[in-house]
Structure 1
């Protein structure tokens, strides 16, 4: 099917879909009026009275969507995402800006000085740890939006096309989560990497708002990587410090899990370099001892299997590297060893944040 939404995939296109759905509230005699009511209720409107209208404004002081509800002195600020996450405290900044509108701007929005502002984080893509940190009154994920739209299938060609697109997107996310069916997905899917990382290191370790045990991701030359910090240290008598973290990435041999040391020291300062090298060597020796004496010689975590080259002069230096091909291939028998080994090593660095 030649679907418009296979091409209109930007956040602005999704903004347009949301506004299109909501604006049926202004046409109460149409079949899609109830859709607007249902979506408003998902955004926190407990009741939507007969005769209620709304106005949607896009990119109002960079706010993705501002929903103005005349007569209620209330606005709904929607931060809309497809696959990226909030950055730079967008919702907090946009909300604060709405408290400083001029009299003319308030008049155009149909509100007064004491306006109630409700915030909604709207994302159809996969929800990562960063999305759970967003300071919004309500979060609407892709599954919830699909649930809202589905009862109105067949009432609009536009809606039907978007439903097909959204269903396909959510199914693709589900496939990427199920990395055991296609382990190679770990090489090119941040969703697959996140899922495995959280399988090894459960979310219960993470205190929301803490940098420790939050799983985050990025990419390098188009290749995804996923990381989780497990410890932070300060150097004695210095303000600076370093981190220990797990990294999931891939190379020519496939997906690997690497324990790393990160210290952005001044390479031109001999004293800093010496401090950096000593800290790295200390932790490498610590890891070598654990892998040598706490794991059996035939374990995947035995030192001979995870030892990596000395990279002590790098800002980001590997302490060990474990390629996951065999563990994934024999998941039923190797899963527990993989998880417990990683957790055993992690416990050596447990620190309060």
Structure 2
């Protein structure tokens, strides 16, 4: 029987901020007599954060003194370790960074410590985020501490602490639901839909990105890639986009965007080219319910992209075959558009 979980109820980032700060505070030597296992876990957690900076020889660090708190100059969590390190932590569950906030926080910390401590900026992400977004964060001098990193640190010691056990169970459940995408019905759920895109971004070689797209019709979780310049329409691009509307299903779309003649007539023209070329690649396409000429418009939907095996699992091998054929179709059609 599944027992009530504190963090499944208190799902806000502030609850996670509190847990991280609390665990770091336990790493101070003065709490060792109070609860040795929790103190050791706090030290292991703090060390795992420092070890993200590969230039430091963190394996041999002896953590003795830790001061940690929340909300300093809008920074989620800060921690001073021994006399050497300052951890600056941005903690995210489902949301991502915005408005160049991470650049500001890094600069604030470096200006404050003025070289007196080694500043280590850490982006803790317990939810899911696309790789291109995480790479941008790393390029700006932040280290990523993922859900799997967190679970590894938490499971290093058996603390038998209810709060730690609840948080570990909470993260385990996110991991389990994220990896449940192979069941097609599960794609109607948020975490499994994200898990499918996490799997997909590892399969495609082109630059790709995924995120939630809000629109008046209800929005969708989208994955876009394979942007291909049109040869005959200067400035226009054809590309591939997956659109998961959860209860309304998931579609594999061929889109047109960038600088193009935004008319339904042009959409019909491009669709006609795609329809003829599709025969070469053994895939079927259909028009959307109606053409809408905008900055980014759906030209065609690929039929039977998401089929299942005999045990109702998503046929991932067949999907990748359809996707490869769709890439070839887009490349060929772009030469004639």
TM-score with structure 2 length normalisation? 0.77
**Aligned counterparts of 2:299 and 2:149: Cα–Cα separation in 1:** 42
**Aligned counterparts of 1:285 and 1:322: Cα–Cα separation in 2:** 14
Partner residue, 1:347? 331
Match for 1:249 among 244, 252, 268? 244
Partner residue, 1:11? 13
Shift of 1:152: 3.2
Check conservation: 2:83, 2:117, Cα contact below 8 A. Answer: no
SS at match of 1:2: coil
Check conservation: 1:188, 1:223, Cα contact below 8 A. Answer: no
Show CA shifts across 1:149-199 (max 9, x none): 124334322222222222222222222x33xx2x12323436426625854
**Aligned counterparts of 2:7 and 2:292: Cα–Cα separation in 1:** 49
Check conservation: 1:200, 1:343, Cα contact below 8 A. Answer: no
Check conservation: 1:153, 1:160, Cα contact below 8 A. Answer: no
SS at match of 2:167: helix
Shift of 1:247: 3.1
Answering whether residue 28 of structure 2 is matched by residue 28 of structure 1, we say no
Answering whether residue 72 of structure 2 is matched by residue 93 of structure 1, we say no
Q: 5 Å matches for 1:38-117?
A: 38-45=44-51, 46=58, 47-49=60-62, 52-72=64-84, 74-101=85-112, 111-112=113-114, 114-117=116-119
**Aligned counterparts of 1:48 and 1:203: Cα–Cα separation in 2:** 40
Partner residue, 1:145? 150
Partner residue, 1:276? 262
**Aligned counterparts of 1:343 and 1:242: Cα–Cα separation in 2:** 13
Partner residue, 1:108? none
**Which structure 1 residue ranges, 5 or more long, are not aligned?**
102-110, 207-212, 266-274
Check conservation: 2:238, 2:334, Cα contact below 8 A. Answer: no
**Aligned counterparts of 2:232 and 2:323: Cα–Cα separation in 1:** 33
TM-score with structure 1 length normalisation? 0.74
Show CA shifts across 1:287-332 (max 9, x none): 123114x13xxx4x23xx4233562534432211134476235738
Check conservation: 1:248, 1:255, Cα contact below 8 A. Answer: yes
Distance change in 2, residues 1:158/1:21 (3 Å): same
Distance change in 2, residues 1:185/1:112 (3 Å): same
SS at match of 1:133: helix
Distance change in 2, residues 1:165/1:264 (3 Å): same
Partner residue, 2:222? 226
